[in-house]
Chain A
């Protein structure tokens, strides 16, 4: 290719971006929309349900304290420990439930795959930062809380290029 045309074409394709839409979005004000409510797993079918892998949610009325999630995590991150809870549940004789350290968790979701009782899912809450390490350890009571997250924007493709829109 001719040198002059090469320069002109390079400049042209750069200048075209003046009229194109901004691809980035303003994060804390606008948030990304995810598929579903987070990663879930159906032990009967043996297949997961697609969703973002954020922090976990624990259903106290279903957890039996079988420790399968902790065993699955053993060689990966060792983030799950079983702790004693004050509540009394019929299915949970030992009254133990998982406690998750998000300073160690790698969000692989294999603990969710291991749970045979529909008790442990993942949610779309990914904003877990805190000032101290001890705040990253979520007790069973904290894990039971359903997070509130409403994403708005997603990638759209228009005439003036791709952008994040509602």
Chain B
């Protein structure tokens, strides 16, 4: 009898040894991405304590391709097709910023009609980017209809870009000196019809997705980024506007024709994941409004491009120009030593700045809230790595 009791007590001790928990044993390390279909080309290591995330370590750099170094071996025109590679569906905005910088160095002004067409292409590009992002946000939260609808409606804008620029995504349209070609016949009518139809569709997005109680429960009050924290972390774009700061480069530092356009900077004060998802929708509405004004105010005729030599030499100096892209302020710092090739090019992109908010927001939240927070940051891995 005593023999059996001894054995039981031994077994109990053994079991206690096995299940004895130290602080390290409690935590489980998970690697999210880069093989995860939702994370993009990006990995972050998280440690979870039960259901709560206690430690986040973002690990970008899987798609780094030396984009800024590559610019030093090519002239300003040859830079355009490969500068747009990081975000191919927002290419008009990336090349816009670089073109503005080069024009400043060379010292030319773009003809007025060219400025309008460039702004129009940039707005269309921004819309198509935001829809792509919204589609991924939808499917990441398990709402497959919200993947299908924006991905389908994006075709309306891709079609317009294809008519205008000649390519569906890699447009290579804004170049130093203006735009590559004039708008084709009947483009204005076609653009107005499709953009007006698209604006009506946004109402349906609200009904099925944004006002859906399922989405609201998953995103409201999740990942709070207060106004002070947002400013301290230096986030930009829709993430900053969702935290109650009405900052938009188009309004703060108007470039080209944006000072003639009447539009509001959309922002929300709830600071949560829902606000970060909803502000891009408000932005899309504003973009439709801007497109209508651009078409209305565009001069009937005129040059669209200031002719520059292929090997244009810029004066020595440096400049920094930024535009508002789909992911926030996007600027290029170009240093020139007077040769046809830039001496140094440095990009400041919205994605990388928004990445700083990721560890801040995820620490302390539940694992289930991770998708809702991660994609609400409007983060594009390829652009952040460059």
**A interface, CB within 8 angstroms of B:** 1, 3, 6-7, 9-10, 12-14, 16, 23-24, 34-36, 38-39, 46-53, 72, 74-77, 106-110, 113-114, 122, 154-155, 157, 162
Q: B163 to chain A: which residues have CB within 8 Å? A: 34-35, 50
- Are A13 and B208 in contact, CB atoms less than 8 angstroms apart? yes
Cβ of B56 within 8 Å of any chain A Cβ, yes or no, is: no
A-B contacts, 15 listed (Cβ < 8 Å): A3-B213, A9-B207, A13-B208, A14-B208, A23-B152, A34-B163, A35-B163, A39-B181, A46-B307, A47-B182, A52-B166, A53-B167, A75-B74, A109-B172, A122-B166
Q: Mark B181-222, 1 if CB is under 8 A from A, else 0.
A: 111110000000110010000001001110111001000000
Given contacts A13-B204, A47-B181, A76-B78, contact A108 B211 (CB under 8 A): no
- Are B184 and A76 in contact, CB atoms less than 8 angstroms apart? no
- State the Cβ distance, B277 to closest chain A Cβ, in Å: 16
Given contacts A46-B307, A108-B172, contact A52 B162 (CB under 8 A): yes
Q: B307 to chain A: which residues have CB within 8 Å? A: 46
Given contacts A1-B211, A9-B207, A51-B166, contact A108 B80 (CB under 8 A): yes
Q: Mark B47-76, 1 if CB is under 8 A from A, else 0.
A: 000000000000000000000000001110
- State the Cβ distance, A164 to closest chain B Cβ, in Å: 9
Q: State in angstroms the CA–CA spacing of A74 and B340 once bound together.
A: 15
Q: State in angstroms the CA–CA spacing of A98 and B301 once bound together.
A: 35
Given contacts A39-B181, A155-B156, contact A72 B204 (CB under 8 A): no
Q: State in angstroms the CA–CA spacing of A12 and B203 once bound together.
A: 13
Q: Mark B67-98, 1 if CB is under 8 A from A, else 0.
A: 00000011101101110000000000000000
Residue of A nearest to B204 (CB): A13
Q: State in angstroms the CA–CA spacing of A34 and B190 once bound together.
A: 13
- Are A52 and B167 in contact, CB atoms less than 8 angstroms apart? yes
- Are A157 and B194 in contact, CB atoms less than 8 angstroms apart? yes
- Are A39 and B166 in contact, CB atoms less than 8 angstroms apart? yes
Q: A52 to chain B: which residues have CB within 8 Å? A: 162, 166-167
Q: B170 to chain A: which residues have CB within 8 Å? A: 106-108
* Of B81, B183, B216, the contact of A50 (CB 8 Å cutoff): B183
Q: State in angstroms the CA–CA spacing of A118 and B90 once bound together.
A: 31
Q: A24 to chain B: which residues have CB within 8 Å? A: 152
Q: State in angstroms the CA–CA spacing of A6 and B210 once bound together.
A: 10
Q: State in angstroms the CA–CA spacing of A46 and B156 once bound together.
A: 30
Q: Which of B149-181 contact A (CB under 8 A)?
A: 152, 155-156, 159, 162-167, 170, 172, 180-181
Residue of B nearest to A106 (CB): B81
Cβ of B281 within 8 Å of any chain A Cβ, yes or no, is: no
Q: A108 to chain B: which residues have CB within 8 Å? A: 80-81, 170, 172
Q: State in angstroms the CA–CA spacing of A10 and B217 once bound together.
A: 15
Going nearest first, the 6 A-B pairs with the smallest beta carbon separation are: A48-B181, A75-B74, A75-B78, A108-B81, A46-B307, A13-B207
Q: State in angstroms the CA–CA spacing of A75 and B73 once bound together.
A: 8
- Are A72 and B78 in contact, CB atoms less than 8 angstroms apart? yes
Q: B29 to chain A: which residues have CB within 8 Å? A: none
Q: State in angstroms the CA–CA spacing of A39 and B243 once bound together.
A: 44
Q: A122 to chain B: which residues have CB within 8 Å? A: 166
Given contacts A46-B307, A75-B75, A76-B78, contact A35 B184 (CB under 8 A): yes
Q: State in angstroms the CA–CA spacing of A14 and B303 once bound together.
A: 46
Q: B194 to chain A: which residues have CB within 8 Å? A: 155, 157, 162
Residue of B nearest to A74 (CB): B78
Q: State in angstroms the CA–CA spacing of A157 and B303 once bound together.
A: 32
